[in-house]
Amino acid sequence: MSVKVRFAPSPTGKLHVGNVRTALVNWLFAKGQGGQFVLRIDDTDLARSTPEFEQGIEDDLTWLGMLWDERHNQSKRFDRYEAAADLLKASGRLYPAYETGEELDRRRKVQLARGLPPIYDRAALALTDAEKAAYEAEGRKPHWRFKLDHGRVAWEDLARGHCEVDTASMSDPVLIREDGLFLYTLPSVVDDMDMAITHVIRGEDHVTNTGAQIEIFEALAKCGWEGATPGFAHMPLLVGSDGAALSKRLGSLSISDMRDQGYEPIAITSHLGRIGTSDPLEVGTSVEALGESFAFAKMGRSPARYDTADLDRLNAQALHVMSYETAQPRLAALGVDLGEAFWTVVRANLQKFADVVEMAAIVQGPVMPVIEDAAFAEAALALLPQVIDETAWATWTAAIKEQTGAKGKALFMPLRLMLTGQPHGPDMAAMAPLIGRDRIVARLKGDGAA
């Protein structure tokens, strides 16, 4: 069986690390075994969905390297949802209810006061045709509830193992609102059947929902709707580095913000694809390679810890191994393509790609030299080799050491400060030939323009 999964985001906001992790695990699971990934825009809520958010979703997935094989908009498939709803109505599984939100609230309060679970009492099932007609005459429109089987629904979850949900403890879910809006529950099932989705992979906050949806899959199949019930995987939720649920903070962790902050896509996909699994939290070579090593068996049951410090570390790792060929167009775009030797030296010092601009300034100047000891600067200048090649630094520093007696930090720090104006930075032996003799001389003389 060839695997086919879907990612079904609502275009009502920006993608954040939480929903991208869901998308990514779907993508890795499918692509790791040559399967298909469907992007399904869950835009049945026409009032809250926007084309800008939809475009943002596509841009983010593309940037992360998670391309899709098929793409659908639920807003273009209302005829399918109507057809499914008609079948369910005809079979008695979808029934009209007329209670207002206030009435339902009041009933819930009474139930709670009596120590009963606040489950919908199915009063609407007992309505006679005359009573329904009276409501309609009053101007009330029905919402439509799915009549659950009130039994145990069981499935073998790829991430959680054996799962059971007792639908007797649930209210019959509303599938269609009084204004005619299809809530996500039914369209999702119809699409999963129509698109031959083999696995539904999502967060564990959907477990109860899955119980109801499996009953809907089965009810539709019984009515003759083509398609099968997919398998399921419910992933543990993301928590922050403090162990607290991330759900409330997710809004501030959007992928577009992370792109603006200079994170590498592979750092984000490595982080989100590997947290909460037994794989080491190291950067992958590509999102495809992450897919090859992905397995639900590696996923633990405890929450996955999202930590910006880990992301920063992976981001630096990604840069430290980035080839010149990959970096070159980006260097050129920043106006700092100083050649392969430059890239190979400085990449080890980068936290974010844009740090390279600072490194280029060390080479090209101007640098404000920090000279703490004029005599030392003069001695160093006198001993500077004529040719600054790869071996010049070793020869030069050995000569300075011999003449001044300075060694270790006392030798190297003043040289770094004079040549770069900073106490930290890339390997000086490799930087010296890039800086070149003229600039070194000028900086040793304290020339702030060199």
Name the minimum Å distance from CB 192 to ligand GLU.
8
Q: Is 13 in the site for ligand GLU (CB under 6 A)?
A: no
How far apart (Å, rounded) are the C-alpha atoms in residues 56 and 258? 13
Q: Which stretch binds ligand GLU (CB under 6 A): 5-13, 143-151, 231-239, 427-435?
A: 5-13
Residues 38-57 that bind ligand GLU (CB under 6 A): 42
CB-wise, 234 or 439, nearer to ligand GLU? 234
Name the minimum Å distance from CB 27 to ligand GLU.
13
Q: Is 324 in the site for ligand GLU (CB under 6 A)?
A: no
How far apart (Å, rounded) are the C-alpha atoms in residues 149 and 67? 39
Q: Which stretch binds ligand GLU (CB under 6 A): 8-16, 112-120, 323-331, 348-356?
A: 8-16
Place of tokens 């759900």: 247
How far apart (Å, rounded) are the C-alpha atoms in residues 302 and 200? 20
Q: Is 26 in the site for ligand GLU (CB under 6 A)?
A: no
CB-wise, 8 or 431, nearer to ligand GLU? 8
CB-wise, 189 or 266, nearer to ligand GLU? 189
Name the minimum Å distance from CB 6 to ligand GLU.
7
Site map (CB under 6 A) of ligand GLU, residues 190-209, x = contact: ----------x-x-------
Name which position in 10, 229, 270, 277 contacts ligand GLU (CB under 6 A). 10
Name which position in 9, 187, 291, 421 contacts ligand GLU (CB under 6 A). 9
Name the minimum Å distance from CB 305 to ligand GLU.
22
Q: Which stretch binds ligand GLU (CB under 6 A): 7-15, 112-120, 276-284, 434-442?
A: 7-15
How far apart (Å, rounded) are the C-alpha atoms in residues 311 and 264? 10
Give the count of residues interacting with ligand GLU (CB under 6 A): 8
Backbone angles phi, psi at 344, to 5 degrees: -65, -35
Residue pair 65/286 in contact (Cβ under 8 Å)? The answer is yes
Q: Which stretch binds ligand GLU (CB under 6 A): 4-12, 336-344, 348-356, 419-427?
A: 4-12
Name the minimum Å distance from CB 261 to ligand GLU.
24
How many residues are given for the chain? Answer: 450
How far apart (Å, rounded) are the C-alpha atoms in residues 296 and 157? 10
The contact set with ligand GLU (CB under 6 A) reads 8-10, 42, 184, 188, 200, 202
